[in-house]
Amino acid sequence: MRISSFFYTLRQGVRNLFRNKLFTLASIATISACLFLFGLFYAIVTNFQHIVKNAQQGVSVSVFFEAGLEDSRIQQIGEQITKRPEVSEVVFVSADEAWEEFKGEYLEGYEDGFTENPLIDSAHYDIYLSDVSMQPALVTYLESMEGVDHVNRSELVATTLTGVNALIAYVSVGIIAILLAVSVFLISNTVMIGISIRREEINIMKYIGATDFFVRSPFVIEGMLIGLVGAALPLGVIYGMYNIVLGYVSDRFPMLTNLLSFLTVQEVFSVLTPVSLGIGVGIGFLGSVVTVRRYLRV
């Protein structure tokens, strides 16, 4: 395309926005409504996933050793565990540390009746996983290691968190696919109505020898601009809503924010902004291309 043709199609695309104000507003409203639901759902789902991920990081597997096992072998076991890909952190807890923790949690000042540490053989490793779904494989590996007496794990917690994470992933993919399909359908029909009004204009351009690309380009640019504006509006609304909700929760429910860690607005919008703008422009492009193609057969 020549530079003059490029600027011509760009000007025509911008002019079309104002020549058909009702069509433009309807298209923007359609995309905005769909992407508002998409953005709202994304913000909720990502926070759920963040909370579940934090909960997974708190799930640990404890490895206890055979009585009288040498310190060198205990250190070797720790080094071998650290090399596992599903392991994020390995913490060694000595017998004295285990006893101090036990006293603080259960005895509450009645520890004076014990003259010596009853947990002398309770030294162990607390192992934290990067992926809690890998816990069964890790436990099988640990139980097969020489010098390991037994392994404590939270099967119910691990299974529950894994199931919740998988459910969130499946529901997210399903709803996002539905929202995108509805968005493409609605914008295609809206664009079709607008372009059908200018069917005669398209026919005239074709009869005087204009190429399909030359005829299609202004409509494609128009659709992409509509998609861009339609995506930017809900982003601004969701940004304001998210800040208000976070502020309200932190002010009214401080205990909840201590238990649950929510994503900051920057963390959410660092992904949501480019994705929403890309979807908006993509929907406008796709809807325009598909619809204009029907009227190019003269």
139 and 286 assigned to the same domain? no
What percent of the chain is modeled with pLDDT above 90? 5
231 and 174 assigned to the same domain? yes
Q: Which of 102, 131, 153 is the last residue of a domain?
A: 153
Among residues 44, 77, 85, 82, which one has the least CA distance to residue 241? Answer: 44
User: Are 164 and 52 in contact, with CB atoms under 8 Å apart?
Assistant: yes
For all residues of the chain together, what is the average pLDDT? 77
- What lies within 8 Å, CB to CB, of 254 at 6+ separation is none
Cα 230 to Cα 32: distance, rounded to the nearest angstrom:
5
pTM of the model: 0.67
168 and 264 assigned to the same domain? yes
142 and 167 assigned to the same domain? no
Ranges assigned E (strand) in the chain: 60-65, 87-93, 124-129, 148-152
66 and 176 assigned to the same domain? no
- What lies within 8 Å, CB to CB, of 256 at 6+ separation is 249
Q: Write out pLDDT tens, residues 203-245.
A: 777 777 767 777 777 878 888 888 889 889 999 999 999 988 8
What's the pLDDT at 62? 84
Among residues 66, 178, 167, which one has the least CA distance to residue 122? Answer: 66
What's the pLDDT at 253? 72
- Domain count across the chain: 2
206 and 272 assigned to the same domain? yes
132 and 34 assigned to the same domain? no
CATH code: domain of residue 81? 3.30.70.3040
Q: Write out pLDDT tens, residues 266-295.
A: 888 998 999 889 888 887 787 777 777 766
Does residue 166 register a pLDDT over 80?
A: no
218 and 241 assigned to the same domain? yes
Cα 207 to Cα 39: distance, rounded to the nearest angstrom:
44
DSSP three-state, residue 150: strand
79 and 211 assigned to the same domain? no
205 and 264 assigned to the same domain? yes
Q: Write out pLDDT tens, residues 111-158.
A: 555 555 555 667 788 888 877 778 888 888 888 888 888 888 776 666
Q: Which of 119, 153, 187 is the last residue of a domain?
A: 153
42 and 137 assigned to the same domain? no
Domain assignment of residue 209, given as a range: 3-55+160-294
